[in-house]
Structure 1
Amino acid sequence: MKKYAYIGCIGFLGIITTEFGVIGILPQIADYYNITIDKAGYLLSAFALVIALTGPFMTLLSSRFDRKKIMFTTLCIFLITGVVSSFSPPFWVLIFVRILPAFLQPVYIATALSVAVSKGNKTNENELMSIVFSGVAIAMLTTVPFATYLASKLSWEYSFMVQAFVSFLALCFIHFGLPNLPVKTRKSFGSQIQILKRPTFIISTAMNFFMISAWFSMYSYFAEYLTKAKNMDSTMVSYMLFIFGAIGVLANYLSGKMLNFNIVITTLFFLAGTILIPLLLHFSGGDTAVTIAVIALWGFLYSPSFLNASTYMISSAPDAMEFANSLATSFGNLGVTFGTTIGGFVIVKYGVEYTPWLTLVFGALAIAMIGLRWKVEQVNRATIYEPVRCE
């Protein structure tokens, strides 16, 4: 039954529209408040940092409440954020209302995934998860570029109006489409926290962190990079975001299918983009046609990153899925914060054209973590199956 997965996807669409909707309008916000681009980036990095620091604890605390009520409450807060932000409040207020929904964002994702797979079976769990995560790609295809386009033609406040509308739409689907979903079997906090002792889970967490840091050291400044390094105007940037998102929808679908066959190979396949894309962007130079082709490939290889990271981490702790996923969300967002912060620092010190090289460095570290986990698993298997010698 895929109905619950699709409803979770729509809610995810509202969440991602709010979290990443600012990416295309950061230069306009910086101009409006007369601040540097790295300070405007706090709207993204502060949001992600709150998720990183509070996500697992909030997920554990909310694990005993009705899942529908959790999802509904989360989207209510996202709706309020969009409405308040659209009135262009002082920058400190804008930051404050931005971080409020961040406390419940990982709770929503963990709950939506749990609800989606609860009506499926083991053979299609990854596919159901990919449906929920496709909300990321759909946002990149529709609401994020549309909000950017609207901001380029009118003003940046309209971008937040789009975010508020999408959150309201998601609220309606959750309210009318989901029944009450009380938790029937409650896992103890202790049994879930045990996964933190597993070396393979810790290594998987590091892989997640480095992979998301890699992508967001460049993607957070998507508009700034294309404007300064590739000489595109804000309208053209909105078109690039549309292409980026359109390819991403296909990528999420394919990734969900591929994960059912092999999680490690699928993760490595898309992670290879962190090495390939920086090189292609460098050699594309000022050729607009080639740059567009590279952006399309970038969207394809980037879009399933959160799905792949969560699936890779959960594969090392399938007995504590919700808690493992909340940690995946937290460390992924810690990667967003770290990548955005380091990317902003590099832009201020050296220039936006250097941010792709950060992606390459962090991507190489993520690939190294996959190799390290494989090595640890090989050692564990050898230990388990080592024959007992008789004296």
Structure 2
Amino acid sequence: MKKYAYTGALGFLAIITTEFGIIGILPQIAEHYQIGIDKAGYLLGGFALAIALTGPFMTLLLSGFDRKKVMMTAIFIFLLTGIVSSFSPPFWLLMLVRILPAFLQPVYIATALSVAVSQGNKRNENELMSIVFSGVAIAMVTTVPFATYIANIFSWEYSFIVQAIISIVALLAIHFVLPAMPVRAKKSYGSQLKILKKPMFIVSTLMNFFMIAAWFSTYSYFADYLNKAKDMDGTMVSYMLFVFGIIGVFANWTAGKLLNKNITHTTVFFLSGTIIVPILLHFSGGNTMATILVIVLWGFLYSPSFLNASTYMISSAPEAMEFANSLATSFGNLGVTLGTTVGGLIIVSKGVQFTPWITVLFGMLAFFMIGLRSRLEKKPA
């Protein structure tokens, strides 16, 4: 049933609002705590690193528990994070409560995807997955820019109040829509861990890692980049996040349809943005209208990146879907950590205007991995 996919998407909306809602307020947080923007970036990078290091283990550990309870527990912890963060605690505590929900984020995503596809058929599996992942795009068009907008009107703490409210709505939806979902037949750890020996899965994992690192080396500093490199104020940045998200909703829907036809071609098409967008950002210069047009393209090509990465990885190990997806989430977030860290180092040493060129570098590495997987697929078994 599609209602299960839409419920999963609502929880995803809460998760992404918490994880990426901070992007638009990083400059304000840096100013409040009197730290550099690269240090403030740890709030994003640390969250992603916690996911990367613990995601697969948590998914394996909780794979035998009732799926509804797992999803509710994950969203409840995200709710606590929003509440505590809204009181502007000391930076170390803000960092701690930011990291706590990260342990269950990949578990939620893997479980929500599994619940969604369990009610459909093989033919529309990718479409159901795209509905769940639409929570990412919807967050980019609604809650993430709205949280940034509210923060610019009042203060950054209000952004976390928005995050907490979304988590409450998601928690209620999961409670009332999903039935109890105990796991009938738990797969053995060994049967799931076998995919780690598959060369094609390893290469697919590296593609995911480099693709996400490519996008986030610039996107993590979206507000700072538009402010300093394109001379846009905080309100204009919130509008740009809104534009970014609107096109992203359409992009995820499009990607879901295209993935049903050809996974590799779809991934290559959207990955091309890691090369095209930085070049266009460079040539748009100080022309605001040109920059807005590039942001529209950026939003379209970037938004389905997590959906493409997960689908690409799962297609190389369909026999262990939940574990494969948790690894996709973990390595994607490891990519977020790498991209955010390298982007921060470039900002400190060279300036924020140079971050898009890091996107090109990581994007080329991702293309190389797609080429390598294609060669492996052509080899006789």
| Superposition TM-score tier, normalisation by shorter sequence | over 0.9
Q: Distance in 1 between matches of 2:135 and 2:54?
A: 23
Q: Distance in 2 between matches of 1:220 and 1:133?
A: 19
Match of 1:378 in 2: 378
Q: Distance in 1 between matches of 2:102 and 2:109?
A: 11
Instruction: Verify: 1:299 aligned to 2:288, yes or no.
Output: no
What's the CA shift for 1:82? 0.0
After the TM superposition, which residues 254-269 of structure 1 pair with which residues of structure 2 at under 5 Å, given as runs? 254-269=254-269
After the TM superposition, which residues 187-198 of structure 1 pair with which residues of structure 2 at under 5 Å, given as runs? 187-198=187-198
Match of 1:182 in 2: 182
Match of 1:253 in 2: 253
Task: State the SS of the aligned residue for 1:105.
Answer: helix
Q: Distance in 2 between matches of 1:337 and 1:319?
A: 28
What's the CA shift for 1:141? 0.2
Task: State the SS of the aligned residue for 2:261.
Answer: coil
After the TM superposition, which residues 329-344 of structure 1 pair with which residues of structure 2 at under 5 Å, given as runs? 329-344=329-344
Q: Which has the larger radius of gyration?
A: 1
Q: Distance in 2 between matches of 1:329 and 1:176?
A: 27
Instruction: Verify: 1:154 aligned to 2:158, yes or no.
Output: no
User: 1:7-59: per-residue Cα shift (whole Å, max 9, x none)?
Assistant: 00000000000000000000000000000000000000000000000000000
Q: Distance in 2 between matches of 1:324 and 1:246?
A: 29
Q: Distance in 1 between matches of 2:53 and 2:89?
A: 26
Match of 2:67 in 1: 67
After the TM superposition, which residues 136-151 of structure 1 pair with which residues of structure 2 at under 5 Å, given as runs? 136-151=136-151
User: 1:83-125: per-residue Cα shift (whole Å, max 9, x none)?
Assistant: 0000000000000000000000000000000000000000000
Match of 2:273 in 1: 273
Question: Which amino acid in 2 is paired with 1:86?
Answer: S
Match of 1:111 in 2: 111
Q: Which runs of 5+ in 1 are unaligned?
A: 385-391
What's the CA shift for 1:201? 0.1
What's the CA shift for 1:235? 0.2
What's the CA shift for 1:155? 0.3
Q: Distance in 2 between matches of 1:21 and 1:147?
A: 7
Q: Distance in 2 between matches of 1:134 and 1:115?
A: 15
Instruction: Verify: 1:364 aligned to 2:367, yes or no.
Output: no
Question: Which amino acid in 1 is paired with 2:161?
Answer: M
Question: Which amino acid in 2 is paired with 1:186?
Answer: K
Q: Distance in 1 between matches of 2:211 and 2:16?
A: 18
After the TM superposition, which residues 222-237 of structure 1 pair with which residues of structure 2 at under 5 Å, given as runs? 222-237=222-237
Match of 1:202 in 2: 202
After the TM superposition, which residues 48-127 of structure 1 pair with which residues of structure 2 at under 5 Å, given as runs? 48-127=48-127
In the TM superposition, structure 1's runs of 4+ consecutive aligned residues that sit over 6 Å from their partners are none
Task: State the SS of the aligned residue for 1:260.
Answer: helix
What's the CA shift for 1:196? 0.3
Task: State the SS of the aligned residue for 2:236.
Answer: helix
After the TM superposition, which residues 239-250 of structure 1 pair with which residues of structure 2 at under 5 Å, given as runs? 239-250=239-250
Task: State the SS of the aligned residue for 1:139.
Answer: helix
Q: Which runs of 5+ in 2 are unaligned?
A: none
User: 1:205-231: per-residue Cα shift (whole Å, max 9, x none)?
Assistant: 000000000000000000000000000
Task: State the SS of the aligned residue for 1:186.
Answer: coil
What's the CA shift for 1:309? 0.1
Q: Distance in 2 between matches of 1:377 and 1:175?
A: 43
Question: Which amino acid in 2 is paired with 1:258?
Answer: L
What's the CA shift for 1:186? 0.8
Q: Distance in 1 between matches of 2:361 and 2:200?
A: 22
Match of 2:43 in 1: 43
Q: Distance in 1 between matches of 2:158 and 2:309?
A: 32
User: 1:44-87: per-residue Cα shift (whole Å, max 9, x none)?
Assistant: 00000000000000000000000000000000000000000000
Q: Distance in 1 between matches of 2:344 and 2:286?
A: 23
Q: Distance in 2 between matches of 1:123 and 1:15?
A: 28
User: 1:136-169: per-residue Cα shift (whole Å, max 9, x none)?
Assistant: 0000000000000000111000000000000000
Q: Distance in 2 between matches of 1:105 and 1:76?
A: 11
User: 1:304-351: per-residue Cα shift (whole Å, max 9, x none)?
Assistant: 000000000000000000000000000000000000000000000000
Q: Distance in 1 between matches of 2:175 and 2:208?
A: 33
After the TM superposition, which residues 124-139 of structure 1 pair with which residues of structure 2 at under 5 Å, given as runs? 124-139=124-139
Instruction: Verify: 1:8 aligned to 2:8, yes or no.
Output: yes
Instruction: Verify: 1:165 aligned to 2:162, yes or no.
Output: no
Q: Distance in 1 between matches of 2:304 and 2:84?
A: 31
Q: Distance in 2 between matches of 1:94 and 1:277?
A: 33
Q: Distance in 2 between matches of 1:230 and 1:151?
A: 21
Q: CA RMSD in A?
A: 0.4
Task: State the SS of the aligned residue for 2:89.
Answer: coil
What's the CA shift for 1:377? 1.1
What's the CA shift for 1:258? 0.2
Question: Which amino acid in 2 is paired with 1:55?
Answer: G
Instruction: Verify: 1:350 aligned to 2:350, yes or no.
Output: yes
Task: State the SS of the aligned residue for 1:100.
Answer: helix
Q: TM-score, normalised by structure 2?
A: 1.00
Task: State the SS of the aligned residue for 1:230.
Answer: coil
Match of 1:388 in 2: none
